[in-house]
Every structure is written in C-alpha cells, then in structure tokens.
C-alpha cells in the first residue's frame, strides 16, 4: 500500500476556487483502479489550508493517477489561475 498526504495551501485571493478544483478530483479518483481512499480535509484554523489523504494499492496505481486526464486538467487549471501557494507531498508509513 502507498500512503500519501498532500498539504496544499491556496493563495488567499482564490480559496473558494481552489477548494472547488480540489473537490473536483474526488469523484473521478474514487473510480480509478487501485484507489483505496482519497479524502480532502480543510484546516479548521487556517483558511485555505487543505490536506488530501490518499491510499493506493501500489506505486503503479498512484503513477497512473498522476497521468489521468482529470489530474492533468487539475494541474493545468491550478497553474493557469495561480491557485496554490505551495503543495507539500508527504509519503507516509502506516504504524500499526
């Protein structure tokens, strides 16, 4: 299993648009082969700070997601509208 947290900070001028774009990833990603979990969280104390929690069956499934049409469209829109201040990817290990 692949566990990934993506910390995403929206630019202050476009928080609602950034959130809508992030939300648009959820439904099509849930339909992808190998997607075990794909959840978006918004920070309760800091406006525009989001965390995407992802669980994939394998690195190959995650790699396919990163090449999917909806993810590539997300990247294009995020860049075009300068929606995000930063994105930090954090590969995680499950502690049991």
pLDDT tens-place values along the chain, 96 residues long: 999 999 999 999 999 999 999 999 999 999 999 999 999 999 999 999 999 999 999 999 999 999 999 999 999 999 999 999 999 999 999 999
Please state whether beta strands 2-10 and 84-92 pair in parallel, antiparallel, or not at all (unpaired): antiparallel
Which residue shows structure tokens 């920070």?
Answer: 43
Q: Is 83 exposed, middle or buried (0-12, 13-18, 19+ CB in 10 A)?
A: buried
Question: Does domain 2-92 bear CATH number 3.90.70.10?
Answer: no
CA-to-CA distance for 53 and 4, rounded, in angstroms?
6
Domain residue ranges of the chain, discontinuous segments joined by +? 2-92
DSSP state at residue 14: G
């Amino acid at each position: 299993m692949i566990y990934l947290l993506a910390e995403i900070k929206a630019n202050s001028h476009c928080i609602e648009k950034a959130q809508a774009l992030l939300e648009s990833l959820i439904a099509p990603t849930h339909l992808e082969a190998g997607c075990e979990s794909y959840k978006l969280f918004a920070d309760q104390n800091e406006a525009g700070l989001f965390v995407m929690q992802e669980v994939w069956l394998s690195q190959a499934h995650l790699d396919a997601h990163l090449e999917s049409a909806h993810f590539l469209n997300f990247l294009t829109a995020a860049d075009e509208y300068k929606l995000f201040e930063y994105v930090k990817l954090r590969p995680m290990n499950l502690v049991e």
